Amino acid sequence: MAKALLAACWRNSAIAALMLLSMACLPASAIAQSVAVDFSNSTSGTSSTGQWKHEVGTDTDRFLVIAVSIEGTSAEVATIDYAGLTPFFIGERRSSGTTGPGIVQMYGLLDPPSGVGIAEVTLTSSARFVAGSTSFANVDQNDPISAQAVANGNSSNASLSIGSATGEMVFAALVATGDIESVSTGSGQTQRWNRSLGDDNALYGVASTEPGAVSTTMSYSLDAGAPWAMVAISIQPPSPVDLSVLKTSMVTGDPVSGASNPKAIPGAVLKYCILISNAGTADAENVVSTDTIPTDMTYSPGSMLSGASCASATDPEDDDASGTDESDPWGASISGSTITMVAKAVGPSSSMALTFEAIVD
């Protein structure tokens, strides 16, 4: 029986491989991607502007989150900038209704440039503020945020729950104002910054992360009851690719019976189809499938046809070699006894197929 090896390289550089016998179908086992925390930095001030340095790493699929905690009933973010780029608004929450004594606002930037950049925030009026940034890697560049939650209260326990998932990363930013002297980050969370201004009537701006789960609780403990507000997001990795491969064969004719009930005897012609399907939600890129013809069979030259399915595989790969026609959109070639099928991409809910014939020796 013929044997096939499928190897696929995805946008996130994950690699999957599987071995397949005729009439078998096995799913590709993708290497799971998880959102990774890169770097964090922060600043604080008592004016209408603030800036700080932030270093973004060189990993792929980067995402930058900036959070600003502001004291007062009117001051808000007017403009925000990182390395000459404008982040998009994610969400905000006041510590009480629409005129609470504090507000936390959150912004995001896809694919920030690697290296050290300057983050700058301008407020609508002078106020005490804490601002910070955290960068992430392995983040979906089309839809980086899978969930968002906000909460506020007037207590010593600030918390909220947010829907998330394994492989995601939850980021939560807090503003708290009042007669408080300390704010501590909840169990299981990694503090990214914790800054305060003032003593008897203090402003606290705190941020942390925690790996995602089905439901993730983000919490902060204040040493005394005070107004607080929180914004949390769940950051998700690139959408997965779900490749599968199915190989089928049929005897189309033999020297004795012709096409009427043919048998796999010497001289018989077998037609094979390799069907590669992507049931995932992202493109599978640079897909390569190889199939080795057994030693007791001989490839029939010029018999390779490609298409989106076994039934619609009608495009000739008639040169049986690599070339410009071998990659737009599918291609196939043979070298020795190894057939190679390639595609630049197999989209979500799409497939590609290759048919070819071999003769029993």
Bridge partner list, 230: 151, 174
Of 235, 254, 289, which marks where a domain is finished? Answer: 235
Cα separation, 128 vs 191, in Å, equals 21
* pLDDT for 287: 86
- Does one domain contain both 28 and 157? no
In whole angstroms, how far apart are CA 79 and each of 49, 134, 249, 285? 10, 18, 63, 38
pLDDT of residue 281: 74
Task: Look up the domain containing 321 and give its range.
Answer: 3-32+240-360
319 in the same domain as 275: yes
189, 58 in Cβ contact below 8 A? no
The reported pLDDT for the residue numbered 319 is 60
Please tell me the predicted confidence (pLDDT) of residue 10: 27
Domain co-membership, 223 together with 252:
no
Q: Are residues 111 and 227 in the same domain?
A: yes
pLDDT the model gives residue 331: 80
**Alpha-carbon gap, residue 358 to 298, rounded angstroms:** 5
Query: Residue 299: in which H helix or E strand, if any?
Result: strand 297-299
Domain check: are 189 and 301 in the same one?
A: no
pLDDT at residue 9, rounded to an integer: 29
Q: From CA 135, how far away is CA 55, in angstroms rounded?
A: 8
Mark whether 174 and 62 lie in a shared domain.
yes
Domain count, the chain: 2
- Find the CATH number of the domain harbouring 26: 2.60.40
115 and 221 fall within a common domain: yes
288 contacts: CB under 8 Å, gap ≥ 6: 6, 7, 8, 9, 340, 341, 342
Quick one: pLDDT at residue 243? 85
pLDDT attached to residue 32? 54
Say how far apart CA 300 and CA 319 lie, in whole Å.
Answer: 12
Per-residue pLDDT at 244: 87
Q: Are both 177 and 292 inside the same structural domain? A: no
CA 295 to chain centre: 43
Give one DSSP letter per residue of 179-203, joined into a string. Answer: S-S-EEEPTT-EEEEEEEE-STTEE
pLDDT at position 29? 35
Both tokens of residue 20?
């397949």
| Residue 96 confidence (pLDDT) | 79
Is the domain of 118 the same as that of 264?
no
* Confidence (pLDDT) at 63: 98
Give the end of a domain, one of 235, 257, 288.
Answer: 235
Q: What is the residue-level pLDDT of the chain in tens, covering all 361 positions?
A: 222 334 332 222 222 222 233 323 333 334 457 999 999 999 999 999 999 999 999 999 999 999 999 999 889 999 999 999 999 999 999 997 666 799 999 999 999 999 999 999 999 999 999 999 999 999 999 899 999 999 999 999 999 999 999 999 999 999 999 999 999 999 999 999 999 998 778 999 999 999 999 999 999 999 999 999 999 999 999 887 888 889 999 999 999 988 899 998 999 999 999 999 988 777 888 888 888 888 899 999 989 998 899 999 988 876 655 555 555 567 888 889 898 888 888 888 899 999 999 999 9
* CB-CB contact of 290 with 358 (8 Å): no
**Considering 172, 206, 235, which residue would you say is the last residue of a domain?**
235
User: Same domain for 41 and 26?
Assistant: no
- Single out the residue of 212, 133, 126, 229 nearest to residue 175, CA to CA: 229
Examine the domain organization and report whether 66 and 8 are in the same domain: no
Query: What pLDDT does residue 280 have?
Result: 79
**182 in the same domain as 66:** yes
